[in-house]
């Protein structure tokens, strides 16, 4: 009599195993096959083409009725197994039992459901089987949200977009597919998806799925709401081990199997995504097919050993070409070889350890992926070809990557010289007309004839036209790039670059993650350019701006709450005194900006102290920021016998409008009520000196390493107009100055006359500048202390672990 | 062979950031790079004692927040014209957990 084999789960792994078994010994086993889905084995990997409409279900069926009949398989489809009785070797479904001599558990994996309110609403699906796929196909013309920007989530998103849905992808991490891709490749992928109309929201944590009878929208922790007729959760999978658990088999993350794929019970085997082998679980198909081969042999009594090999990942989204393989984690002593071709959207990165490749990431051009993968798998010594390795097997002495590619790719209408409104096309015409020196181009187009900061870019445009004769290119903003600050800023604008990885990729950065000099600058340029879209990157900020306090030489911090216009109250002073005592502040000092500094605060105390100060109504004074610091005032005509205007009131108004704003460098204001100038307004970045007839606005002062007296910008009889001019000049400075230039330095480059023309004479321009300032402030007029002292953020300020405690035991 | 001790989840450290671990041998800065590698370095710049854990992380380098000395996290070696080295400790990620050299549980022989 034939022995009885029962298989739980008709997926790809068990299907392959049965094929191997029937090929080798057609009559060895009587097979009973249970499956929870009401159908047999189909190619789950092909669900994405079904979703996108490139294939139909019939085309992806692996085993049809005829196949099962030919091999006399007793099919129990749509009949989930509910219990395994190991003692009597029986499995039970709700319709009866089946005896076994050998049992194979192939229950696969279950999608991970994030535990948020609304997760059980109709309209919330995973991406696992044909039912899910059908639900997603039905979203055509509707709103869909995919939670999870990994492999599966992106395939779901692309598929629904191809069917005509409006799709948003919400991803918890900073960039897509962070397990397979680094930030640069993640950026390219995001860009390609956005080109297909998919909205991508990174660093997005889902708070709830909203809806009464069914899903209607998704709410994020940051308050964003996306409409959703359908929500697809694709945040990950975990091995489906419930049956094995109930049967008391050994289970860790997955069902534990040995090299022969036997579980802790010698009559029970397991394979596929539900198993754990030597601490590893599996999600890709290649190792599962290897398991199928091994298990078929085991069942036929032959010796076989399962040994997993490294596998590569490819995304199955038509038009998004990416390849990722190997290991990017662990181990010091690794080096990177990076190749970027901004013009063609190509990024390649090899991770080397000694003379071997240990990791490969490619985007845009993955033709050499298999070759690199082969070198990696074989552990080939690449030292001989290291210099040219990144160019692939076909390399025959080809050219080095072209840093001018970004400039060459600009359209003719792209503006090169902002002062004089000269486009790339105009410069090219001038060159074609015979102007082949910078002076000649300047003379006939006025490009770079005003502030001169675009000289480098003008020369690069000329170089593109003249064929590579670059002379006197100014030094780059740092060692990571040849582009100057001004050029980077213009290119961010002209090319619509909206993230740090985007800038680094498109402008051909020479390093992997920039440096301490360019990252804060890029972060500022991006948030100034795209206040609503760009999210401030804390990790690209200098310590003081990241921690919202000033670091002192011993690693403690100083805390300065805001005092609007230098005015405080007994209650605020009491709260400051309480905080100073509670946290043992060693020094309390009055600052030059008319407020109080608490010096020597330990990092882990910061969020607690902030919460206390917040409770008393105080916010961060931003005494650490390249942004609005203080507005120093005198008492003005309210009290002073010689005061001419309400200088205190104006100072408070300005501070309430401008607090929280980021600027290229620190921005200090002063408002004096009369020319005696008690608020020292004439050495501030922007000052107001009140007179009987109105308000004298002065700019460009400094009292630091450089001491500068301000110069007059405008005189106006109206307080309201004074405020408008000050906001406009601040915005003009934000939009145009180089990072870390104070106003006086910027003014030296563009000229006071130009600034006056923009914000004093041109009323329409003033109005739009103020409008843009206010748009930005709608995001940044917000207290960072309140955001960083929440119950979830507070623990992050303390050490991660304290090993001294364990050592003492 | 290095013996490791678990100090927390990889998610506890922001990418391109660091957290401090107190040890019997002083504070250790545990860094996470943009591509999820981890490095453990003494949290003290040899120049003026700045906390490296508060520096900007770029590639496998970190810049001291006090005076911009740059260190290679692989070796602890100061870069460019600056001369100096910080101690490094073995660190790795396994199953989403961060493991560091367990000898940090003990006081060093010299201490």
The fraction of chain A above a pLDDT of 90, given in percent, is: 59
- pLDDT tens, residue by residue, A198-251: 999 999 999 999 999 999 999 999 889 999 999 999 988 889 999 999 999 999
Q: Based on the fold, state whether residues A492 and A456 are members of the same structural domain.
A: yes
**CB-neighbour burial class of residue A330 (10 A; exposed 0-12, middle 13-18, buried 19+):** middle
Q: Based on the fold, state whether residues A133 and A174 are members of the same structural domain.
A: yes
CA distance B24 to A640: 60
- pLDDT tens, residue by residue, A65-81: 999 999 999 999 999 99
Distances (CA, A) of A672 to A514, A698, A713, A749, B89: 43, 11, 16, 28, 56
By residue range, what is the domain housing residue A371? 321-391
Q: Based on the fold, state whether residues A47 and A183 are members of the same structural domain.
A: no
Residue B92 corresponds to which tokens in the numbers above? 């790795």
Print burial letters for A55-93: b (CB count within 10 Å at least 16), e (below 16).
Answer: eeeeebbbbeeebbeebebebbeebebeebebeebbbeb
Q: Based on the fold, state whether residues A763 and A659 are members of the same structural domain.
A: yes
Q: Which of A482, A509, A538 is the last residue of a domain?
A: A538
CB nearest to A330's CB, from B8, B37, B88: B37
* Range name among A205-219, A362-376, A572-586, A698-712 with the lowest pLDDT average: A362-376
Q: Based on the fold, state whether residues A773 and A691 are members of the same structural domain.
A: yes
Judge whether A792 lies within some domain: no
What integer best gives the mean pLDDT of chain A?
Answer: 88
Distances (CA, A) of A134 to A9, A48, A98, A364, B13: 21, 11, 32, 31, 39
Q: What are phi and psi of A317, to 5 degrees?
A: -120, 120
Q: Which of A391, A425, A445 is the last residue of a domain?
A: A391
Note the pLDDT of residue A387: 77
Q: Based on the fold, state whether residues A87 and A217 are members of the same structural domain.
A: no
* Range name among A354-358, A501-505, A795-799 with the lowest pLDDT average: A354-358
* Range name among A143-152, A426-435, A677-686, A690-699 with the lowest pLDDT average: A426-435
CB contact under 8 A, B21 and A802: yes
Question: Where are chain B's structural domains?
Answer: 4-101
- pLDDT tens, residue by residue, A257-311: 999 999 999 999 999 999 999 988 887 777 888 899 999 999 999 999 998 876 6
Note the pLDDT of residue A397: 41
Q: Based on the fold, state whether residues A520 and A654 are members of the same structural domain.
A: no
Q: Based on the fold, state whether residues A381 and A434 are members of the same structural domain.
A: no
| pLDDT band at A169; cut points 50, 70, 90 | very high
CA distance B22 to B28: 6
Report the sign of the C-alpha dihedral through residues A258, A264, A269, A275, in that order. Answer: negative
Note the pLDDT of residue A383: 82
CB nearest to A802's CB, from B22, B65, B107: B22
The ipTM is: 0.93
CA distance A269 to A263: 5
Neighbouring C-beta atoms of residue A241, cutoff 10 Å:
23
Note the pLDDT of residue A262: 95
Three-state secondary structure string covering A481-538:
ECCCHHHHHHHHHHHCCCCHHHHHHHCCCCCCCCCCCHHHHHHHHHHHHCCCCCCCCH
Note the pLDDT of residue A198: 93
Distance from CA of A151 to the nearest CA of B (A): 17
Note the pLDDT of residue A494: 87
Tell me the mean pLDDT in the region A167-173: 93
Note the pLDDT of residue A129: 87
pLDDT at A521 over 60: yes
Q: Based on the fold, state whether residues A619 and A636 are members of the same structural domain.
A: no
CB contact under 8 A, B34 and A182: yes
Report the sign of the C-alpha dihedral through residues A784, A789, A790, A796, in that order. Answer: positive
Judge whether A785 lies within some domain: no
Judge whether A656 lies within some domain: yes
Look at B89 and A349; give whichever has higher pLDDT: B89
Task: Report the CATH number at residue A598.
Answer: 3.90.480.10
Judge whether A802 lies within some domain: no
Looking at the 3D structure of chain A, how many domains does it have?
Answer: 6
CA distance A246 to A667: 66
Mutate to test the interface with A, among B2, B4, B16 (most CBs of A within 10 A): B16
CB contact under 8 A, B21 and A800: yes
- Helix axes A719-736 and A647-658, enclosed angle (nearest 10): 40
Note the pLDDT of residue B111: 39
Query: Which CATH number among 2.60.120.10, 1.10.150.130, 2.102.10.10, 3.40.50.1980 corresponds to the domain B4-101?
Result: 2.102.10.10
In what helix (H) or strand (E) does residue A567 lie, and over which residues does it extend? Answer: none
Task: Report the CATH number at residue A347.
Answer: 3.30.390.30
Q: Which of A599, A625, A651 is the last residue of a domain?
A: A625
Q: Based on the fold, state whether residues A621 and A648 are members of the same structural domain.
A: no
- Beta-strand runs (E) in A345-476: 346-353, 356-363, 415-417, 422-423
pLDDT at A11 over 70: yes
Distance from CA of A779 to the nearest CA of B (A): 23
Judge whether A118 lies within some domain: no
Q: Based on the fold, state whether residues A567 and A591 are members of the same structural domain.
A: yes
Q: Based on the fold, state whether residues A530 and A568 are members of the same structural domain.
A: no
Task: Report the CATH number at residue A90.
Answer: 3.50.50.60
pLDDT at A718 over 60: yes
CB nearest to A800's CB, from B7, B24, B105: B7
Look at A400 and A190; give whichever has higher pLDDT: A190
């Amino acid at each position: 009599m034939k022995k009885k084999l029962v298989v739980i789960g008709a997926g790809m792994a068990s299907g392959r195993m049965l094929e191997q078994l029937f090929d080798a010994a057609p009559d060895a086993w009587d097979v009973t096959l249970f499956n929870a889905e009401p159908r047999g084995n189909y190619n789950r990997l092909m669900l994405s083409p079904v979703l996108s409409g490139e294939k139909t279900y019939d085309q992806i069926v692996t085993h049809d009725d005829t196949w099962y009949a030919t091999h006399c398989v007793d099919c129990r489809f749509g009949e989930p197994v509910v219990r395994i009785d190991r003692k009597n070797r029986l499995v039970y479904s709700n319709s009866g039992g089946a005896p076994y001599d050998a049992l194979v558990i192939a229950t696969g994996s279950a999608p991970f459901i994030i535990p948020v309110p609304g997760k059980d609403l109709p309209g919330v699906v995973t991406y696992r089987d044909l039912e899910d796929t059908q639900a997603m196909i039905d979203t055509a013309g509707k709103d869909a949200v995919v939670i999870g920007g990994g492999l599966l989530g992106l395939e779901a998103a692309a598929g629904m977009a191809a069917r005509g849905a409006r799709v948003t992808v919400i991803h918890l991490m900073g960039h897509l597919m962070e397990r397979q891709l680094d930030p640069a490749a993640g950026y390219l992928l995001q860009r390609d998806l956005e080109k297909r109309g998919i909205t991508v929201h990174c660093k997005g944590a889902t708070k709830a799925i909203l809806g009464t009878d069914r899903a209607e929208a998704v709410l994020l922790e940051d308050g964003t709401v996306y409409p959703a007729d359908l929500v697809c959760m694709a945040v990950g999978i975990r091995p489906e081990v419930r049956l094995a658990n109930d049967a008391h088999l050994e289970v860790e993350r997955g069902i534990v199997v040995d090299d022969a794929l036997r579980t802790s019970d010698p009559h029970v085997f397991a394979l596929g995504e539900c198993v754990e082998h030597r601490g590893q679980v599996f999600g890709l198909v290649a190792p599962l097919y290897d398991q199928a081969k091994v298990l078929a042999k085991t069942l036929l009594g032959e010796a076989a050993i399962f040994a997993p090999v490294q596998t590569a990942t490819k995304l199955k989204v038509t038009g998004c070409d990416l390849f990722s393989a190997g290991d990017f984690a662990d181990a010091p002593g690794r080096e990177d070889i990076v190749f970027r071709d901004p013009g063609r959207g190509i990024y390649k990165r090899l991770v080397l350890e000694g003379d071997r490749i240990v990791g490969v990431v490619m985007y845009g051009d993955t033709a050499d992926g298999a070759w690199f993968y082969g070198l990696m798998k074989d552990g080939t010594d690449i030292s001989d070809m290291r210099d040219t390795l990144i160019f692939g097997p076909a390399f025959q002495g080809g050219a080095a990557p072209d840093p001018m590619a970004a400039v060459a790719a600009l359209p003719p209408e792209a503006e090169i010289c902002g002062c004089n409104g000269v486009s790339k096309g105009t410069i090219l015409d001038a060159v074609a007309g015979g102007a082949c020196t910078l002076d000649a181009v300047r003379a006939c187009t006025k490009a770079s004839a005003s502030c001169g900061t675009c000289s480098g870019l003008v020369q690069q445009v000329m170089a593109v036209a003249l064929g590579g004769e670059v002379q006197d290119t100014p030094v780059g903003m740092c060692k990571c790039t040849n582009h100057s600050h001004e050029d980077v800023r213009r290119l961010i604008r002209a090319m619509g670059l909206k993230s740090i990885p985007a800038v680094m990729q498109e402008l051909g950065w020479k390093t992997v993650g920039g440096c301490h000099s360019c990252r804060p600058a890029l972060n500022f340029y991006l948030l100034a350019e795209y206040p609503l879209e760009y999210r401030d990157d804390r990790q690209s900020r200098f310590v003081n701006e990241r921690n919202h306090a000033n670091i002192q030489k011993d690693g403690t911090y100083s805390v300065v709450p805001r005092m609007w216009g230098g005015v405080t109250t007994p209650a605020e002073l009491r709260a400051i005194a309480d905080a100073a005592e509670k946290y043992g502040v060693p020094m309390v000092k009055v600052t030059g900006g008319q407020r109080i500094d608490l010096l020597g605060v330990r990092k882990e105390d910061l969020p607690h102290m902030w919460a206390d100060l917040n409770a008393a109504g105080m916010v961060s004074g931003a005494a650490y920021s390249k942004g609005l610091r203080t507005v120093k005032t005198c008492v003005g005509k309210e009290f002073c016998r010689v005061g001419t205007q309400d200088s205190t009131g104006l100072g408070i108004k300005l501070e309430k409008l401008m607090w929280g704003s980021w600027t290229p460098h620190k921005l200090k204001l002063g408002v004096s009520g009369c020319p005696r100038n008690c608020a020292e307004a004439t050495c501030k970045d922007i000052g107001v000196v009140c007179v009987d007839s109105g308000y004298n606005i002065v700019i460009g002062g400094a009292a630091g390493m450089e001491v500068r007296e301000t110069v007059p910008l405008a005189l106006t009889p109206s307080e309201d107009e004074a405020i408008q001019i000050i906001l406009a000049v601040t915005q003009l400075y934000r939009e145009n100055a180089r990072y870390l230039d104070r106003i006086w330095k910027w003014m030296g480059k563009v000229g006071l006359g130009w600034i006056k023309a923009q914000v004093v004479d041109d009323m329409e321009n003033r109005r739009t500048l103020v409008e843009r300032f206010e748009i930005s402030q709608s995001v940044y007029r917000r207290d960072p202390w309140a955001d960083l002292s929440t119950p979830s953020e507070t623990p992050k300020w303390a050490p991660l672990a304290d090993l001294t405690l364990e050592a003492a035991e | 062979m290095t013996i490791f001790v678990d100090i927390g989840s990889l998610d506890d450290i922001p990418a391109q950031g660091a957290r401090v671990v107190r040890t019997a041998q002083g504070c250790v800065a545990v860094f996470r790079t943009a591509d999820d590698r981890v490095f453990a370095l003494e949290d003290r710049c040899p120049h003026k004692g700045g906390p490296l854990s508060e520096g900007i992380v770029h590639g496998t380098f970190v810049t001291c927040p006090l005076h911009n000395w740059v260190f290679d996290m692989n070796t602890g070696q100061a870069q460019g014209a600056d001369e100096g080295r910080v101690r490094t400790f073995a660190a790795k990620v396994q199953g989403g957990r961060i493991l560091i050299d367990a000898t940090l549980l003990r006081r060093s022989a010299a201490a």
